Amino acid sequence: MYTNFAPVLTIWQRFDTNWYLKIAQSGYSESDGSTAFFPLYPLLVKLFGFILGNNLLAGLLISNLALLGALVLLYKLALEYFEVGVVRRTLVYLMLFPTSFFFFSAYTEAPFLFLVLASLFAANRRRWVWAALFGSLAALTRLQGVLMFIPLIYMWWRQLDNRRWLNGIALTLVPISTLGFLFYTRLSLIGMYQNTLNAVFVWPWMNIWADALMLIHGKGTVIEIFNLFVTSLFGILIVVAWRKIPREWFFYSIAMYLAPLFRMTTIQPLVSMSRYVLVLFPLFCLLGQWGERPWVNRIIVYAGFLAALYFSAQFFTWGWVA
């Protein structure tokens, strides 16, 4: 259906991208697993695809514009807490992360990160309606977006005064957006995870242990090794980050980190964790602080660049990465 594009575009047409293209063209079906993908991104693809005449091109344009906006917002937001050297290293480390090519792909990583940062940026300035709007759009971009309610309600409560308590009502748009989509799809998401995607709900440590057992028994691949490494690394970073980053950032990080760990597929534990951590921008800020040491900076830059080459090559040759 989508094979008549120029070769420069088709190398980006991989895995979840095909789901977004399918939804943009023909909508949702309760029986094919499409309801696992939230509606904002395919809706934008359909809109821009109508203008450009090519849905894949539209998806790539949306993601890259969102990435540019996310980097600008991250730079401005992080400067409110860290010195410029830390912020610059944060952006570099994020872009050199081994799976950062997903930001440029027709995936939701870049739009989701942009909406998260826009929401937090607005909340910092007590513009609660805008914070709620961007937060609700994040909730319509992917399932984890509903968790934006946690840092936002904390920020609202911390800044609460008698004249503005009604602003907190606007923040309920975030969970309402998620619930609205779930009811629109007749709550088929839970059954779809179990029946179509072979996923079960587990405690996070069970997910980690299942991946480790695969490796112990010699059944794992480089992807399982990297997923376990990334999950462990970012788990350590969250523990360390408690006193190193703003409290609302910590709540955001732990929520976004734990959410995917409650779902485990019977085929690949820790599936896509190396991609999900891309939106944990506060932890990249922590790495930016550690990068003040030259030897740490060299390890992150050199290892990240080489691993990015490997994983992006895997992705473009239809090798599963995340």
Contact 45, 63 (CB under 8 A): no
Residue 241 has pLDDT above 70, yes or no: yes
Count how many domains the chain has. 1
Alpha helix segments (H runs only) across 140-280: 149-158, 167-170, 173-184, 188-195, 204-216, 222-241, 247-258, 273-276
Percent of the chain with pLDDT over 70: 93
Residue 250 has pLDDT above 60, yes or no: yes
267 domain-assigned: yes
2 domain-assigned: no
State mean pLDDT over 81-108: 97
Average pLDDT, the chain: 91
Contact 290, 93 (CB under 8 A): no
Half-sphere exposure of 220 (CA within 13 A, CB side): 21
63 domain-assigned: yes
State mean pLDDT over 283-290: 97
State mean pLDDT over 1-21: 78
DSSP line for 93-146: HHHHSTTGGGGTSSSSHHHHHHHHHHHHHHHHTT-HHHHHHHHHHHHTT-GGGG
83 domain-assigned: yes
Range of the domain at 122: 17-316
130 domain-assigned: yes
322 domain-assigned: no
Query: What DSSP designation does 311 have?
Result: H
108 domain-assigned: yes
Dist. CA 168–CA 285, nearest whole Å: 28
Q: What is the pLDDT of residue 43?
A: 97
144 domain-assigned: yes
